[in-house]
Structure 1
């Protein structure tokens, strides 16, 4: 925008959008080249996304719903899970650029956007198969864009969009509630944002949010232990020896992750742009100014938001939270580059510094992709049994040769196993009774297996890597009638079989309810000795 006339002086550059698209394509291609297997959270999504439900576990359901929709088109594949995650990362950059352009000159807005690459909450996600945190980060960026746009041009429809974004965030990860509360509290302390958020139609935002979130909220109330137990256990580990020790460890975690959330970007910006904070801050203009480099409410809004977030986290420590994880904290401070550059919007005018800055951002992105791409090879050479080095074709061949035709029910001991088998046998129904969860003793394995037998469906009971406990196998069968368990030792990709092999344990029960269950094994301790197939 022209500072004098307020009219458009030139069309915004398309280069940032092309860079974002190119880098997103690079990341997706890197992921597909790296491995056809998936691990951790994405395997969980492959299991959960077999069907639509109002809730699935300790995380909100929106990511699973999105994965379900993509799977309808692409099937449960590595491409499907990689496309969802990396598209959300790309959209985070898109929304951040849109937000930054609301309050910064175009060149500086691009610096604030590209700087996300130096935030661990973004760069580290390129290396890990995470899910809900990625969507949370994207929802935060989108919410800030819509709020900043609404503050500059308040209208009732803007509240509808904000309500949609808040619902998106809450259904992505519950910690978004802290983001929404902190943003609202910060806005109410600054005159211009306060007037905008209390303008005509303000009630539309909470109405839209409540309508969209209510179905899942009802599910949470009915399944409170399932929805909250895991998170509370992580915040309050059972092995915390004392209140004082918990306070010390919680404070240490919080301080470390707060520094880590902003320090890499700050060091990079200082190196490339120089000590930009020593330059005079942007002069305050009138509150109704349309020039994006002179909006006096921007910096205090972002500063107050950061203060509220940090204060809320500190209160959690005082309330007894003794353990934090970086992926919980880093998305909350996603706006750190925008906050800093909103005070020095002229930083983008330094052409030499801007080139160095953007080169550093491109370098860290390429470096992250290279690390991700080479990690499975490095683990293979070290003899580590990395899940991304599972040979999926060998797993499928072992199970088919043992008589499993890809239909019926698969009972897995962990989501990692279940997700892989859902990719290999998409026609089968995969159910997980976690061998690490005492719940399988309460009937999970028995109910799932007995239901399959009653319907005459083929049943595959399977575990991978670390052998499941004996009780997990017995739990699925009538006393004294567990069929023979087979054990196949499969080589990892690129790994010397003498160093490490993946252990695949399974029982195949045919689809014939009239046939008696196979001859029972005498006792589980003989299971390994009775294995009759070892593939090297």
Structure 2
């Protein structure tokens, strides 16, 4: 074989897609399998860490004791999903972790199905699915905590699939999916409501698609959405302050300015949130496609115009929220429903510029793999190195050791804990014992005829002895029990330096 033939063969070999890229180019299901393996690894990493719960995990553990139409500042969809898993497999760290990653997998899958409605090539659907990894809100943040946000991401992806299906085929199934997605989205996060509103505006701006809004089958969308939302809407009527106080409180800074200064600060916060949300994705695409990316910015068709209008509509809605509320702070998490389509938007722009994005999958696979590995490191790294850095996560809290000590002192019939995190951890450690959060008790729980002693009361202790214990015990007053003297319980943090300790106070009512 001559030199030219050898070079030709070598060039051909180098240009062959890698095995993983070739597998992923198979489309929706190979990409879903790949992501499923990543999420199984994510679950395994979490299960290898101590079972001290993050704040969101603790909330789910505590609320999994009861089925309610509303639980507080957050809508109940994720709680209902969590409760279903706990009902089937019991309360455990595994049952608290599994629903989140299943919903995340569905988010990626529905996004790939959305892309497939626009471009039937298997590689394009895979590229769209995996490009979600470039959004830190989708890849990194759920690894740290998050529950309700994951639910709204899944609902947004489902909504996009139903919407695109309706625009392409206009079948009744598409209208049904849109209705289900709107219902689920509205009971996942209240800010989801701006997404269907912006979609209606974007559809109306297209002369041909406008007819979809007046199709009689849209009644199916309305009915399905209302049926899903109805139970929570009834609860919301009597609990509006409770439902909105938490969200508004997070969006308003203490000692915030007023008037134009407030609005300017909020708009600046919105701009920074947009950059934080999408900058990494844009940078990765720009580096990968170079001049082709710059050329694609002027390309487009009705799909890119539609997605651009829809994303812009959501952001304009946020501006109205800023103008008509006291909002001073917008975080990138608040933009999830509106900017989730960004990777698909960029891919379609590139395609309309004549660039075959699927041929670049091999180039992107190492980026995707690095992102997947990097997102697994921070939570585990921070937990395992707490003793070296002096920075501890809630996962380092030694609640297993605390529970072992308390169980040796007796078995409680009811636990009253001060604060969500402590109450949720007590629920995990004492799975058969009703747990009450003294700071946010649920009316009627436990049932009056099921309440009995002994009662364990527990709180975070500063170590300073003072008068009465810093915990509200009015929820168990009707039992007429006598409190023992308060005691302190100190246990060293897991993976700590042996000096830093969790300090709890507790007493028994018998």
Structure 1 residue 509, shift from structure 2 partner: 2.2
Size of the aligned set, in residue pairs, is 477
- Contact 1:487–1:504 (8 Å) recurs in 2: yes
> Structure 1 stretch 385-394 or stretch 468-477: which is displaced more?
468-477
**Which position in structure 2 is the counterpart of 1:489?**
490
* Aligned with residue 360 of structure 1, among 360, 367, 370: 367
Matched, 1:334 2:334: no
**TM superposition shift of 1:259:** 1.0
Q: How many angstroms does 1:349 deviate by?
A: 4.6
The offset of 1:334, in angstroms, is 0.4
What residue number does 1:523 align with?
none
| Structure 1 unaligned residues grouped into runs of 5+ | 1-9, 285-295, 511-536
Q: Normalised by the size of structure 1, how large is the TM-score?
A: 0.82
**Alpha-carbon offset, residue 447 of structure 1:** 9.9
**Pair 1:462 & 2:462 matched:** no
Matched, 1:250 2:266: yes
Q: What does residue 534 of structure 1 align with?
A: none
Alpha-carbon distance in structure 1 between the residues aligned to 2:341 and 2:275: 14
Say whether residues 1:49 and 2:64 are aligned partners: yes
Larger helix share, 1 or 2: 2
What TM-score, normalized to structure 2?
Answer: 0.86
CA–CA distance in structure 1, aligned partners of residues 71 and 221 of structure 2: 26
Match of 1:476 in 2: 473
Q: Given the alignment, which residue of 21, 40, 44 partners 1:25?
A: 40
Q: How far apart, CA to CA, are the structure 1 residues paired with 2:374 and 2:261?
A: 38
Distance 1:59 1:399, change over 3 A: same
Query: CA shift at 1:488, angstroms?
Result: 1.2
Contact 1:139/1:169 (<8 A) preserved: yes
Q: Distance in 1 between matches of 2:289 and 2:233?
A: 46
Give the corresponding residue for 1:521. none
Match for residue 167 of structure 2 among 151, 156, 161: 151
1:209 maps to 225
SS of the counterpart of 1:384? coil
1:508 equivalent in alignment to 2:504: no
Displacement of 1:493 in angstroms is: 0.9
The 1:450–1:118 alpha-carbon spacing in structure 2 relative to 1, beyond 3 Å, is: closer
The aligned residue for residue 108 of structure 1 is 124
Mapped contact 2:32–2:105 kept (Cα < 8 A): no
Range 340-349 or range 26-35, more displaced: 340-349
SS for the counterpart of 1:203 is helix
CA contact (8 A) 1:433 1:445 kept: no
Q: Which moved more, 1:146-155 or 1:109-118?
A: 109-118
2:421 to 416, 422, 446: 416
Mark the CA change 1:41 to 1:470 in structure 2 (over 3 Å): closer, same or farther. Answer: farther
**Is 1:300 equivalent to 2:295 in the alignment?**
no
Structure 1 residues 41-61: Cα deviation after superposition (integer angstroms, max 9, x where no partner): 111111111110111101111
What CA distance in whole angstroms lies between the structure 2 residues aligned with 1:312 and 1:455? Answer: 48
Cα deviation for residue 72 of structure 1 reads: 1.4
Equivalent residue, structure 2, for 1:142: 158
Q: Judge conservation of contact 2:454–2:509 (CA < 8 Å) in 1.
A: yes
**Unaligned 5+ runs, structure 2:** 1-24
> What residue number does 1:34 align with?
49
Task: After superposition, give the CA deviation of every residue in 1:114-144 in whole Å (9 maximum; x if it has no partner).
Answer: 1111112112323322110011011101110
Residue 474 of structure 1 and its aligned partner are, at CA, apart by: 6.3
